[in-house]
Amino acid sequence: MTKGSLFIITAASGTGKTSLVKQLIATTNDLAVSISHSTRKPRPGEIDGQHYHFVSREIFADMIKQGEFLEHAEVFENYYGTAQSTVEFMLSNGLDVILEIDWQGALQVQKLRPDATTIFILPPDRQSLRQRLSNRGQDSQEVIEKRLAGSVNEMSQYVNFDYVVINDNFDVALAELKSIIIANRLTLAKQQERHAGRIEQLLSE
């Protein structure tokens, strides 16, 4: 079985990353998203174990001490982390895995897994970013302003990523993300591994 590839998708809050990743998973075979651990409270409609593994700060701190995270970071006074065991299990079963994480976590993973393909999603403009954050209807105005203030710093990190996708049109952005996944699967190394028998037969005299 061909081992899966690791993809990191990052964006500023309100850029539409979660919706894009959800549709990408739904329309692409053998692709899954790693479910992160988080100390924040679930938003309305979020399910533990499906959207995040919601844990206490004490449990999260213990997991850090045990070295269980591939990456972890504090974002807006809450902690988020990706368990190494979860990612390795999926990759070893032939799935391509998406880490939907912030830029701090992305840079941590890049150091440990330089083979990971990194993608940064940008909004078309700041007005769209503000509108998306306000339309959620789940955060206070204070929280929205705090997220907007931090977004410029977040977006400036795009230079550290392999690919940049601008989410101006949802369908176009989705197609661009999918093309990155497919192109990765067609590299020489992946095709040699996946079709070793076929290639050997083709070249044998």
The CATH number of the domain holding residue 161 is 3.40.50.300
| 18 annotated to a ligand binding site | yes
Known binding residue 94? Answer is: no
Domain hosting 163: range is 4-201
Confidence of residue 189 (pLDDT cuts 50, 70, 90): very high
Residue bearing the bigger pLDDT, 75 or 178: 178
Residue 13, marked binder: yes
Q: Domain count of the chain?
A: 1
Structural tokens at position 8:
């990191």
User: Could you give the dihedral angle defined by the CA atoms of residues 17, 19, 32 and 62, in that order, rounded to the nearest 10 degrees?
Assistant: 60
- 4 annotated to a ligand binding site: no
Average pLDDT over residues 154-173: 95
E strands present in the chain: 6-11, 31-33, 37-38, 53-54, 69-75, 78-83, 96-100, 117-122, 163-166
Each residue's pLDDT tens digit, 129-160: 877 777 666 667 777 777 777 788 889 999 99
Bigger pLDDT: 89 vs 136: 89
In whole angstroms, give the CA distance from residue 107 to residue 104. 5
